[in-house]
Structure 1
Amino acid sequence: MPSEKTRTAPSSTGRVKAATTALWKAGDTPGRTWMTRLVVVGVVLSALNLRPAITSLGALLEEVRAGLGMSGGMAGLLTSMPSLCFAVFGVMAPRLARRFGPAAVMCAGMAAIATGLAVRPYVGSTAAFLAASALALMGIAVSNVLMPVIVKRWFPDRIGSMTGLYSMALALGTAAAAAVTVPLAGVLGHSWQSGLSAWALLAAVAVLPWLPLLRDRGAEPGATAPARTAPAREETAPAQEAPAPALRITRSPTAWALAVFFGLQSTAAYITMGWIAQIFRDAGVPAGTAGLLLAVTMVMGVPLAFVIPRLAARLPRQGPIVLVLGACGLAGYTGLYLAPAAGAWAWALLLGLSNCAFPLALTMVGMRARTARGVAQLSAFAQSTGYLISIPGPVLVGVLYQSSGGWGLPLALMFGLMIPQTVMGWLAGRNRTVEDETAR
Structure 2
Amino acid sequence: MSAVAVSGTGVVTARRALLIAGILLVAANLRGAITSVGPLLETIRRDEGMSAGQAGLLSALPLLTFAVFSPQVPRLARRVGMERSLWLAMVTLTAGILLRSVPVTGLLWLGTVLLGMSIAVGNVLLPALLKRDFPDRVAPMTSLYSVTMGLVGALVSGFAVPLAGTLSGGWRMALGCTAGLALVTVAVWGPQVFHRSSTPVNVVTPSDTARRTPWRSALAWQVTAFMGLQSFGFYIVLAWFPTILHSQGASEESSGWLLLVLQVLGVSMSAVIPLVANKLPDQRLLAAGGSLLSFTGYLGLLLAPGLAVLWVVIVGLASGVCFVLALLFFTLRSADSYSAATLSGMAQSFGYLFATLGPVVFGALHDATNGWVAPMIMLLAAASVQSCFGFGAGRNRVV
Q: TM-score, normalised by structure 1?
A: 0.85
* Aligned partner of 1:73 among 41, 50, 53: 53
Offset from partner CA, 1:335-370 (integer Å, 9 cap, x none): 211232x21211111111121211111111101112
**Does structure 2 retain, via aligned residues, the 8 Å contact 1:149–1:221?**
no
- Distance in 1 of aligned mates of 2:123 and 2:110: 20
State the partner residue of 1:169: 148
Q: 1:245 to 1:337 in 2, by over 3 A?
A: closer
Offset from partner CA, 1:116-135 (integer Å, 9 cap, x none): 1122122421x331111111
State the partner residue of 2:79: 99
**Does structure 2 retain, via aligned residues, the 8 Å contact 1:119–1:132?**
yes
* Aligned partner of 1:50 among 27, 30, 44: 30
Number of matched residues? Answer: 388
State the partner residue of 1:413: 378
State the partner residue of 2:3: none
Instruction: Give the deviation of 1:243 after TM superposition.
Output: 6.2
State the partner residue of 2:186: 207
1:347 paired with 2:314, answer no
- Distance in 2 of aligned mates of 1:349 and 1:259: 26
Offset from partner CA, 1:195-215 (integer Å, 9 cap, x none): 111111111111112111114
Offset from partner CA, 1:202-232 (integer Å, 9 cap, x none): 11111112111114345154447xxxxxxxx
State the partner residue of 2:268: 303
Runs of 4+ in 1 over 3 A off after TM superposition: 29-33, 220-224, 242-245
* Aligned partner of 1:332 among 288, 297, 301: 297
Offset from partner CA, 1:295-346 (integer Å, 9 cap, x none): 0111112221121111112222101111321222111111211232x21211
Q: How does 1:58-207 map to 2 (within 5 A)?
A: 58-125=38-105, 127-189=106-168, 191-207=170-186
* Aligned partner of 1:384 among 346, 349, 363: 349
Three-state SS of the structure 1 residue aligned to 2:37 is helix
Three-state SS of the structure 2 residue aligned to 1:91 is helix
State the partner residue of 1:287: 252
Higher share in helix: 2
Gaps of 5+ in 2: 1-8
State the partner residue of 2:390: 425
- Distance in 2 of aligned mates of 1:128 and 1:187: 23
- Distance in 2 of aligned mates of 1:314 and 1:250: 28
- Distance in 2 of aligned mates of 1:31 and 1:427: 44
Identity of aligned residues (%): 38
* Aligned partner of 2:224 among 248, 256, 259: 259
Gaps of 5+ in 1: 1-28, 225-241, 435-440
1:360 paired with 2:325, answer yes
- Distance in 2 of aligned mates of 1:339 and 1:178: 25
**Does structure 1 retain, via aligned residues, the 8 Å contact 2:71–2:342?**
no
State the partner residue of 2:369: 404
Alignment RMSD, CA only?
1.8
- Distance in 2 of aligned mates of 1:70 and 1:124: 14
**Does structure 2 retain, via aligned residues, the 8 Å contact 1:80–1:393?**
yes
- Distance in 2 of aligned mates of 1:322 and 1:261: 9
State the partner residue of 1:9: none
- Distance in 2 of aligned mates of 1:306 and 1:243: 34
Q: 1:257 to 1:31 in 2, by over 3 A?
A: farther
- Distance in 1 of aligned mates of 2:203 and 2:169: 45
- Distance in 2 of aligned mates of 1:315 and 1:31: 36
- Distance in 2 of aligned mates of 1:243 and 1:292: 50
**Does structure 1 retain, via aligned residues, the 8 Å contact 2:23–2:145?**
yes
- Distance in 2 of aligned mates of 1:412 and 1:190: 38
- Distance in 1 of aligned mates of 2:164 and 2:336: 46
Offset from partner CA, 1:98-155 (integer Å, 9 cap, x none): 1111111111111122111122122421x33111111111100111000101101110
- Distance in 2 of aligned mates of 1:203 and 1:87: 22
Three-state SS of the structure 2 residue aligned to 1:151 is helix
**Does structure 2 retain, via aligned residues, the 8 Å contact 1:112–1:136?**
yes
- Distance in 2 of aligned mates of 1:109 and 1:345: 37
Q: TM-score, normalised by structure 2?
A: 0.93
- Distance in 1 of aligned mates of 2:140 and 2:202: 23
